[in-house]
Amino acid sequence: MPKLKLLGAAAAIFAIAAPGYAAKTGGAQDEIILHAWTWSLDTIANNMKQIAEAGYNYVQTSPVQRCYVGDGGGRALFSQPGDSVMGKWYYYYQPTDWQIGNYMLGTRDDFKAMCDSAYKYGVKVIVDVLPNHTAVDHTAVLPGLDNAVGGHENLFHANGLTDITDYNDRYQCTTGKMGGLPDVNTENPDFQYYYLQYVNDLINLGARGFRYDTAKHIGLPSDPLDAKAERNNFWDVATGREAVKGLSLLMPDSLYIYGEVLQDRNVKETEYDDYMDLVASNYGHVLRNVIRQGDTRVENLADWHHPSAPEQLVTWVESHDTYCNQHESADLTDDQIRTGWVFIASRATGRPLFYSRPEGSTRENYWGTNRIGNRGNDEFLHPQVVAANSFRHAMKGEPEKLVYTDNGAAVMVERGTKGASLINFSGKEQKIKLETSLPDGSYTDKVSGTVFKVAKGKLTGKLAPFTTYILYNN
């Protein structure tokens, strides 16, 4: 088994950590995540000061483990035949070993340097991890991984090379091959031990959270067992409730963990949420529908469309999957995405994640400059986005009230009597007159300088198309 380089006193912690208990991770409801999708580790480090100043508490990396080297090791986001640079973004979602560093994002030393930069500026690092599967070409798995689990045949579930045909069948969903990706036997104690060394190495280098990719494809205790498994205990090990072969998750009470448990029929959200926070995938769809229609009346925006508590939900306007896989959200303009962001960032619950679209991307060219490693477009620093981030921090603990215009074009997110955000989802100017709890007076949006009046419990003013405003009761 490969030896892991550990840092000073952290090595001792790694060796003696006792089994922990991963409590539900909801809380800290002013926190905000920046998904620095396809940014290299160096790029993230070099932009950490701006990330912090823009109000993001967390920066989320793409997967940093060893991965499949496709298209000759090219670093295009998504290449077409004949392109001068080849590559596909999804290769780093195809592990070949659980060791830090890959050709797309950077080395183990790069990861350490990025975490050091994050610590300097008070930002926490979330790493996208994916223990569920290996590369489509599982012959590309590296010898160290095969040896760690007692041979290549022990790496996969008994059902792990069988394609899933019914994603709502929990046995198929948690043991079968998803999208051509062979399903790892996550219940194998040897694999759990090997994987946990990787996670603990990330923590020792400075990671303070994890996003579990394809989490709903890893079985819960109540799920059917694969023929090779004695019990479904991966989540107990991965969240620190249980040790494996004497090894436990480091710092379980100091980590933020959430899972990609995409909603569908027969998904056990309330069992998963006993281990981690979850993505509010249905809410993203609802919000995008409102944005497209420019009408809040077409969907219920007040309801989170999820059985778990809103304090345990990671919310987004779009994710890398909705942008990339079928381009489900890629047609939305940056202006439209911004309206949705200000809305979810202004709300009292949920933990919003801002997905950084590719550098130079347009609605005609979704891939933009088409290079992995580059910083995304400038939207994460847009003044309206930053103003909403600041508003979220300032309004922590204040109750929310959603007030809609009669025509559904706009909404006010009121936070007690301390402030409110105004969002125009439509492409037309809106004159508003909304009931409010804000005291009488004049309120000026710091980004645009637009002035709104409150008199006798009514807020009045004009909203430009696809524009947002932040008002404070100073």
Q: Do 237 and 89 share a structural domain?
A: yes
Mean pLDDT of 209-236: 97
**Dist CA 461 CA 441 (whole Å):** 12
Task: Flag whether 329 is in a domain.
Answer: no
Task: Flag whether 339 is in a domain.
Answer: no
Residue located via tokens 């031990």: 193
Q: Is the pLDDT of residue 10 over 50?
A: no
Query: How many whole angstroms from its chain centre is CA 179?
Result: 21
Range of the domain at 97: 9-280+350-356
Q: Quote the strand ranges of 115-238, DSSP E.
A: 124-129, 207-212
295 is a catalytic site residue: no
Q: Which member of 110, 201, 213, 379 is catalytic?
A: 213
Residue range 456-473, pLDDT digits in tens = 999 999 999 999 999 999
Strands 430-435 and 207-212: unpaired
Task: Flag whether 393 is in a domain.
Answer: no
Can you give the pLDDT at residue 29?
A: 80
Task: Flag whether 194 is in a domain.
Answer: yes
CB contact at 8 A, 9 and 294: no
Total domains, the chain: 2
Can you give the pLDDT at residue 409?
A: 98
Residue range 53-108, pLDDT digits in tens = 999 999 999 999 999 999 999 999 999 999 999 999 999 999 999 999 999 999 99
Q: Which member of 110, 260, 299, 445 is catalytic?
A: 260
Task: Flag whether 97 is in a domain.
Answer: yes
The CATH number of the domain holding residue 466 is 2.60.40.1180
Task: Flag whether 285 is in a domain.
Answer: no
Q: Which of 125, 131, 224, 126 is nearest to 182 (CA)?
A: 131
Question: CA separation (Å) from 229 to 213, 279, 289?
Answer: 21, 27, 42
Q: Is the pLDDT of residue 410 over 50?
A: yes
260 is a catalytic site residue: yes
CB contact at 8 A, 24 and 41: no
Query: Domain end: 356, 383, 417, which one?
Result: 356
CB contact at 8 A, 201 and 6: yes
CB environment 131-164: b (16+ within 10 A), e (fewer): bbbbbbebebbeeebbebbeeeeebbbebbeeeb
**Dist CA 118 CA 51 (whole Å):** 9
Structure tokens at 4: 């892991």
The CATH number of the domain holding residue 250 is 3.20.20.80
Structure tokens at 57: 């508490």
